[in-house]
Amino acid sequence: MSNHSDDDDALFEQLEAELEQDGTFDYYRNEKIRAHKATLKRKSNLATRFQCYPNEKPLLEILSDRTARDSDYLLVFANETFTACQHLMHILRSVVQESSGTYKIYIVDAVNAPFLTQKLNVKTLPTMVPFKNGQSGPARVGLHGLLEDPVNVASVCEEYVQQYIESCFPDEEESESE
């Protein structure tokens, strides 16, 4: 019986040696490492670049810092009870996870952000206002142009949202693809 086990061990050692010689183990190991790095990057992006605020006070504190204020960010006015806002927030979360840009996405509950909503003249939810180098860009009001089916708010298209963000922060997205 011990002889049979020794033969199996020898056979497994021979198979392992052959796999190592032809690079199969290296390939699978490298693929696994790449997949783990991608997962870590997505988690890091979400933790550092996608932030939700129930009111404007903590957001105003962050933006009072000149470095943060002069960085690139997308300010999203939403209300989590609105279906359209829920769908958009889900897509934005996905887009920021996959992006290698440096912009941030700040989502604030518009109901609890009277100063910002008045200052930026927000009347419809969701509203997205891009800020590049501290300067506000044109606001995207509602989901117009982001839906695959114009009568279905659940059809927010990730590709359209990604294109919108690329148009807001073109320098970052161009450097990503190079």
Give 123-171 pLDDT, tens digit per residue. 999 999 999 998 999 999 999 889 888 888 888 899 999 999 999 998 6
Question: Does position 4 have pLDDT exceeding 70, yes or no?
Answer: no
Work out the burial of residue 94: count CB atoms within 10 Å of its CB; fewer than 13 is exposed, 13-18 middle, 19 or more buried: middle
With beta carbons less than 8 A apart as the criterion, state whether 16 and 10 touch.
no
Count of Cβ atoms closer than 10 Å to residue 28 Cβ: 11
Q: What is the pTM of this model?
A: 0.77
What is the largest distance, in Å, between two alpha-carbon atoms of the chain? 83
Q: Please check whether the domain covering 50-168 is classified as CATH 3.40.640.10.
A: no
Confidence of residue 13 (pLDDT cuts 50, 70, 90): confident
Task: Give domain limits for the chain.
Answer: 50-168
